[in-house]
Chain A
Amino acid sequence: MRTLILLVLSLFVAGFARAGVKIEHWVAPSGAKVYFIEARVLPILDVQIDFAAGGAFVGPGKAGVAGLTRSLLEAGAGNLDEEQIAGRLVDIGARLGGGADSDRASISLRTLASKAERDAALDLMRTVLSAPTFPQAVLEREKTRSIASIREAETRPDAIAGKRFVEAIYPGHPYGVTPSVDSVGSITRDELVDFHRRHYGARGAVVSIIGDVSRSEAEAIAQHLTEALPPGGGALVPPPVKKPAAATIKVPHPAAQSHVHVGLPAISRSDPDYFPLIVGNYTLGGGGFVSRLMKEVREKRGYAYSVYSYFAPRKLEGPFEIGLQTKREQVDDALKVVREVLTGYMASGPTPKELAAAKKNMVDGLALRIDSNGKLLGYLSAIGFYGLPLTYIDDFPAKVNAVTAGQVKAAFARHVTPENLVTLVVAAD
C-alpha cells in the first residue's frame, strides 16, 4: 500500500453531500431523536444508536468504564448469555458493531432486510441495549484481557505516542485520560450498571436508520429499539477544555523509528471556524498525496512513509494534530521541516491555486463519500449526535466554496496557537 493517509483523510474531511439525499427527522415517543434515509435498492438495513456515553463522562480514576459498558452490552442481556447472543446474530447473518470514543458510545447493526432476519436482529439489538446483565464473571475476564492489552500497548511506540500525546494536550481533562492497569482493575459491576442507567437513556439516544424500510416501518423500529431504555439521558457536556502550555516531550523507546505528534486542542464540532479549518487543512496535510507536508517531508526528502495533519472536532475542542514516523537518527531534521511548513502556512495561508484545488477535491469528491449505505449511516449519526443542520449535506458545497484564504489564515491563527503547541516524540535519542 502506498500510504496510510487516506484513512485519516476520509475520517476527518467530513464531506458528505449529494444534492437530493433526503434525510427525515423526528422524535420518537420514547424521546429518542431519529434520522432516517429510505434506500430501497439493496435488501439491507443499517441502524446505529449513539449516546453521550464516551470516556469524557467517566469519573476520575475510572477510565475504562465507558468502553467496558459498551462492550459488555453483548456479554449478556435479558435471559440470554453471551454465547446465545453471538449465536443468534450469526444464525441470521447480522452484525453488531460500534464502540466508545471520548464523546459517544455507539451500537450499530447491519442486517438483511427480509422480515424474519430483520425482526430477529432488531429484537436482539433492543435486548442488549435495554436489558444488559453485565455478568460478574464476564466482567472479570474482560478486565483481565483489557489489562493485558494495556500492558502490551505500553510496549508499542505508536500506542505510547497516542496515549502520551492526549495526556499532554489535555492536562487534567477527561479527553486526555486513557484506561490504565489501575483504573480498569478498580472497575466494579455496579459502576457499569450505573453508567448504563445514567448514559444510555432514551432521551439522549440518537437513532440513525438507512435501508430497505419505509418511513412508517422506521418509526416503529426506532420506538421499538428505544422504548425500554432507561428514561434519563439528554444534554450532557464534558468539563471545559484548558489549552496546554507549549512543550516538547521526549519518551525513550528502542524502536527504529521515532513517532512524532505535534498539536493541541483546537475546535468543537459547532465552531464557526469549522469550514475554514477543514478546507485549510487539506492544503497543509489533509489532502493525501498533494498536501504541503506530504510534498516537503515525504516526496522531496524521503523522511517518512506517512505524514499528515487533521482536525478532529468533538463536543468540545478536539485535537489538531500533525503526525509522522521517521528513522530515529533524522527525527530532528524531519521536525524542522514540519515546523517550517506549519509556520509558513500560518504566515501566508493557502495560495489561490491551492485553495481552488482544495475546494475542487472536497466538493467534487462528495459523491464518493456518500455512495453507500454504510458511509451515509456514519454521516446520519454525526448530524444527529452533533446537532448539525439536516441540510448539512446540501449546504456543504456552498460552505466549502465560500471559504477565503483570509479566513483560513485567521482561523489557523486563532486555533493553532504556537504558545499551546505540544511536540511529543517517542523513541528519541
Chain B
Amino acid sequence: MRSSLAALALIGVAVAPAPTFANPFETRLANGLRVIVKEDRRAPTAVHMVWYRAGSMDEKDGTSGVAHVLEHLMFKGTKTLKSGEFNKRVAEAGGRDNAFTSRDYTAYFQIVPKGALPEMMKLEADRMANLTLDAKEFAAEIKVVMEERRLRTDDNPQALVHETLASTSFQAHPYRRPVIGWMDDLENMTWRDARDWYRAWYAPNNAYVVVVGDVDHREVFRLAQTYYGKHKAKALPERKPQNEPRQTGIRRVTVKAPAKLPYLAMSWKVPRLRDLRKDRDPYALDVLASVLDGHDASRFSKNLVRGSRIAQSAGAGYDGTLRGEATFTLDGQPAEGKSVAELEAALRAELRRVQDEGVSAEELARVKTQLIAAQTYKRDSLMAQAMEIGGVEASGHHWRDIDALLDKLKTVTAEEVQAVAKKYFNDDTLNVAVLDPQPIEQARPRAPTGAVRH
C-alpha cells in the first residue's frame, strides 16, 4: 500500500507545534522518537535516515559484531513484508538504500525521489518493531558477514593493524572490540543473539529520524506520527560507563601480514568533547590534527612526504565527537629505504616542533578557511547534511550545536594548540602498532575455517 502526502494530511494527526522559523525543525513523538527535518528544496529528492543509539560499544564479550549482524538482518522480512522485499520496494521507487554500523550507533538510510518518502517512512517504521528473525535467514546472512570480515579486515593488513591497535589501547573500554566482530564470535553467534539485540535496543525512544530534502517539515512530522508513532517506548538496558583505567606505560604490538611496505600507527589517549561550551582542549586537538594533516599544504604532506621524503604517506586524526573514549592517531608508511623507526622519529619530531615552537597565524587562518569553505560545499549534498546532523546527535550533542561547534573551532588560538601538544602526547598513554610485512610467497595459506588470529 502506498500513501500520498495529501492523503495523510487529511488524517489530521496531532503533532507538537513546529518550532517557528529555524531550519532544521524538530519534534518529539510521545514514544520518545525525535524527528529532525532539514528542508532543502534544490532538487526533488529526499534522504530519510533512522539512527539507533546502539553500536558495537553496547555489545558484550562473546557476541561482538552482533550490532552489525542485526543491521544485515534488518533487510530480511517483517510480519507483513517478505524477505528481500524492503530492497525491492526502495529500488522500485527509484531509490537507493543501505545501512552502516559504528562503535556508537547503527543507521539506516534511503535516498529517494521525494514522492517516495511516505513509503520509505512506512517501511522503516515497520522494521523498527516487526522484524521476523529465524534460524534459516540468519544462517545464510552470517556467512555474508564473515565474507565481509575477510574482505575488510582479514585480507587487509592496515585494517588488521588498526584492529590490533584498538584492542591494545583499550582493555576495559568497549572500543577494544572491532565493529565487525571477532571471527570466532561470528562463528558461534546464533539467531537468538541477534533477536535479543533487536529486542533490547530497537525502540523509538532509542532512535531518531533525520530527513533532509525537498519536503515540508509539517508533513514529515505527520507521517512520523502515523508510522513511527504507533510503537511503544521500551525500557532500555542499563549502559555501564566502562571507563578505561589510566594507562601507565607505552604499549607496542606487531602484526605480520602479506605486504611490501611496513605501516605504523600511534595512538594517544586524549579527551573527547563533553561540554561543548566549556571545553577547550578538544577544539585545540582538532585544530592540531588539521595543522598536521588537514589539507594538501599541511605539515605532514609538506615536510614528511614532499620535504624530507621520509614517508610514502603520513596522517593525523582526531575525532572528539563520540560516545566513548577519544584517541589522537598518527600513522603512515615509511618511504622505500626508510625504516618504521625513522618514520616514528619523524612523526614525533613534528609533534615536538609544535610543542617547542607552536603553530603560525597563517596555519590557523588556513584551518579556519577550510572550515568555512567546507560548510558551503557541504550544502551541495543532501547526504552530507543528513550525516552531519545524525553524527552530532549520535555523539550525544544536539544538532542545534553544529554551528556553535564550528564557531568554537574558529576561536582556537596558537597558544591552545601548543598547550595540548605539550599536555597529551606523553609516552605513558601511547600505543604503537606496526605492520611487519611478509612476502606473499612465504606466507602460509590460512586454515580451512578461514579463521584468523593475530
Q: Which residues of A come within 8 Å of B, CB atoms?
A: 1-3, 6, 9-10, 18, 41-44, 82-83, 86-87, 89-94, 110, 112, 138, 141, 144-145, 147-149, 151-152, 154-157, 253-257, 287-290, 295, 298-306, 325-329, 357, 360-368, 370-374, 429
Please, which residue of chain A has its CB at the minimum distance from the CB of B383?
A372
Q: Is the interface of B mostly helix, strand, loop or mixed?
A: mixed
From B45, B94, B142, A363 is in contact (CB under 8 Å) with: B94
Q: Which residues of B come within 8 Å of A, CB atoms?
A: 42-45, 71-72, 75, 83-84, 87-88, 91-101, 111-113, 116, 139-148, 150-151, 154-155, 258-261, 295-297, 301-302, 305-306, 309, 312, 333, 335-336, 365-366, 369-370, 372-374, 376-377, 379-382, 437, 440, 443-446, 448, 450, 452
A373–B87 Cα distance when bound, in Å, is: 27
Most chain B CB within 10 A, of A2, A82, A157, is at: A2
Q: For residue B445, which residues in chain A have a CB less than 8 angstroms away from its CB?
A: 254, 328, 429
A153 nearest CB across to chain B (Å) = 8
Q: Is the CB of A365 within 8 A of B96?
A: yes
Q: Is the CB of B144 within 8 A of A298?
A: yes
Q: Is the CB of B144 within 8 A of A302?
A: yes
From A90, A112, A151, A372, B381 is in contact (CB under 8 Å) with: A372
Q: Is the CB of A152 within 8 A of B147?
A: no
A364–B93 Cα distance when bound, in Å, is: 7
Q: Is the CB of A41 within 8 A of B144?
A: no
Q: Is the CB of A141 within 8 A of B309?
A: yes
Q: For residue B297, which residues in chain A have a CB less than 8 angstroms away from its CB?
A: 83, 86-87, 89-90
A306 nearest CB across to chain B (Å) = 7
Q: Is the CB of A305 within 8 A of B147?
A: yes
Q: Is the CB of A365 within 8 A of B95?
A: yes
A288–B88 Cα distance when bound, in Å, is: 10
Q: Is the CB of B376 within 8 A of A368?
A: no
Q: For residue A156, which residues in chain B have a CB less than 8 angstroms away from its CB?
A: 259
- The list of the 9 closest CB pairs from A to B, nearest first, reads A364-B94, A93-B373, A302-B143, A371-B43, A365-B94, A289-B87, A305-B148, A86-B297, A254-B443
Q: For residue B155, which residues in chain A have a CB less than 8 angstroms away from its CB?
A: 157, 255-257
Q: Is the CB of B372 within 8 A of A93?
A: yes
Please, which residue of chain A has its CB at the minimum distance from the CB of B382?
A371
Q: Is the CB of A86 within 8 A of B381?
A: no
Q: Is the CB of B147 within 8 A of A86?
A: no
Q: Is the CB of B151 within 8 A of A357?
A: no
A97–B189 Cα distance when bound, in Å, is: 44
Q: For residue A145, which residues in chain B have a CB less than 8 angstroms away from its CB?
A: 305, 312, 335
Q: Is the CB of A155 within 8 A of B440?
A: yes
A253–B258 Cα distance when bound, in Å, is: 9
Q: Is the CB of B366 within 8 A of A367?
A: no
Q: Is the CB of B370 within 8 A of A371?
A: no
Please, which residue of chain A has its CB at the minimum distance from the CB of B102?
A1
B192 nearest CB across to chain A (Å) = 19
Contacts known (A155-B258, A325-B150); A370 close to B140, Cβ less than 8 A: no
Q: Is the CB of B72 within 8 A of A288?
A: no
A335 nearest CB across to chain B (Å) = 15
A287–B97 Cα distance when bound, in Å, is: 11
Q: Is the CB of A2 within 8 A of B100?
A: yes
A374–B384 Cα distance when bound, in Å, is: 12
Q: For residue B148, which residues in chain A have a CB less than 8 angstroms away from its CB?
A: 305
A86–B305 Cα distance when bound, in Å, is: 14
From A1, A144, A154, A368, B98 is in contact (CB under 8 Å) with: A1
Q: Is the CB of B91 within 8 A of A290?
A: yes
Q: For residue A365, which residues in chain B have a CB less than 8 angstroms away from its CB?
A: 94-96, 113
Q: Is the CB of A367 within 8 A of B88?
A: no
Q: Is the CB of A361 within 8 A of B98?
A: no
Please, which residue of chain B has its CB at the minimum distance from the CB of A96?
B296
Q: For residue A90, which residues in chain B have a CB less than 8 angstroms away from its CB?
A: 295-297, 366, 369-370
Contacts known (A155-B258, A368-B96); A302 close to B140, Cβ less than 8 A: yes
Q: What would 6 more interface pairs be, CB under 8 Å, given A1-B98, A86-B296, A368-B96?
A: A2-B72, A2-B99, A89-B297, A148-B336, A155-B437, A255-B446
Q: Is the CB of A303 within 8 A of B147?
A: yes
A301–B113 Cα distance when bound, in Å, is: 32
A152–B334 Cα distance when bound, in Å, is: 12
From B91, B305, B366, A357 is in contact (CB under 8 Å) with: B91
Q: Is the CB of A254 within 8 A of B446?
A: yes
Q: For residue B147, which residues in chain A have a CB less than 8 angstroms away from its CB?
A: 257, 302-305, 325-327
From B98, B305, B381, A3 is in contact (CB under 8 Å) with: B98
Q: For residue B84, which residues in chain A have a CB less than 8 angstroms away from its CB?
A: 289-290, 295, 299
A32–B146 Cα distance when bound, in Å, is: 51
Q: Is the CB of A147 within 8 A of B336?
A: yes
From B92, B111, B295, B446, A368 is in contact (CB under 8 Å) with: B111
Most chain B CB within 10 A, of A144, A300, A304, A365, is at: A365
A169–B302 Cα distance when bound, in Å, is: 40
B164 nearest CB across to chain A (Å) = 17
From A152, A288, A302, B141 is in contact (CB under 8 Å) with: A302
Contacts known (A254-B446, A295-B84); A361 close to B94, Cβ less than 8 A: yes
A94–B377 Cα distance when bound, in Å, is: 10
A149–B261 Cα distance when bound, in Å, is: 9
Q: Is the CB of B336 within 8 A of A144?
A: yes
Q: Is the CB of A325 within 8 A of B43?
A: no
A155–B256 Cα distance when bound, in Å, is: 13
Contacts known (A302-B147, A367-B113, A370-B43); A42 close to B379, Cβ less than 8 A: yes
Contacts known (A256-B155, A288-B87, A365-B94); A154 close to B260, Cβ less than 8 A: yes
Please, which residue of chain A has its CB at the minimum distance from the CB of B259?
A155
Q: For residue A2, which residues in chain B have a CB less than 8 angstroms away from its CB?
A: 71-72, 75, 98-100
Q: For residue B92, which residues in chain A have a CB less than 8 angstroms away from its CB?
A: 357, 360-361, 364
Q: For residue A18, which residues in chain B have a CB less than 8 angstroms away from its CB?
A: 43-44
From A112, A288, A306, A326, B96 is in contact (CB under 8 Å) with: A288
Most chain B CB within 10 A, of A151, A255, A429, is at: A255
Q: For residue B144, which residues in chain A have a CB less than 8 angstroms away from its CB?
A: 298, 302, 304-305
A311 nearest CB across to chain B (Å) = 19
Please, which residue of chain A has its CB at the minimum distance from the CB of B108?
A2
Q: For residue A89, which residues in chain B have a CB less than 8 angstroms away from its CB?
A: 296-297
Please, which residue of chain A has its CB at the minimum distance from the CB of B113?
A367
Q: For residue B295, which residues in chain A have a CB less than 8 angstroms away from its CB?
A: 86, 90
